[in-house]
Amino acid sequence: MAQANIIQLKEFDVTQKIIESLSNVCTRAVLFSVKNESKDATQIADELNLSISTIYKTLSALEDLALVEVHKFIFTREGKKIKKYRSRIGKVEITLNDNEPILHLHPNKKF
């Protein structure tokens, strides 16, 4: 059996996935947007002047990495359920040690 190369190993490394996600300016903007107050996708899209599909895609990726969570649900008069998102992290530190990144996620104490 062939030995996995470094790129293949990194594909399954959660730390690497979080670091790669945080390197994206859109992802960081969405994360910062819900750090101090929970918001729905439409509020975030309006605030950041981005498409709603981009916001949903970004929120889904952040949820998969457990960086954001659904804080509560709002029900409209029409019976529509709207999710309010919030950041689970308040601070991120990335350091390098022996050529490997070390990721420190600090909880969001605003909520």
46-98 pLDDT, tens digit per residue, is 999 999 999 999 999 999 999 999 999 988 888 889 999 999 999 999 998 88
HEC letters along the chain: CCCCCHHHHHCCCHHHHHHHHHCCHHHHHHHHHCCCCCECHHHHHHHHCCCHHHHHHHHHHHHHCCCEEEEEEEECCCCCEEEEEEECEEEEEEEEECCEEEEEEEECCCC
Give the tokens for residue 7.
């790129």
Give the tokens for residue 109.
């104490």
4-29 pLDDT, tens digit per residue, is 554 545 556 888 899 999 999 999 99
Q: Would you list the domain boundaries of the chain? A: 9-107
Question: Between 3.90.550.10, 3.40.30.10, 1.10.10.10, 3.40.50.150, what CATH number should domain 9-107 receive?
Answer: 1.10.10.10
Question: Sorting pLDDT into bands at 50, 70 and 90, what band is 99?
Answer: confident
Compute how many other C-beta atoms are within 10 angstroms of the C-beta atom of residue 63. Answer: 15
Angle at Cα 105 formed by Cα 83 and Cα 86, nearest 5°?
A: 15
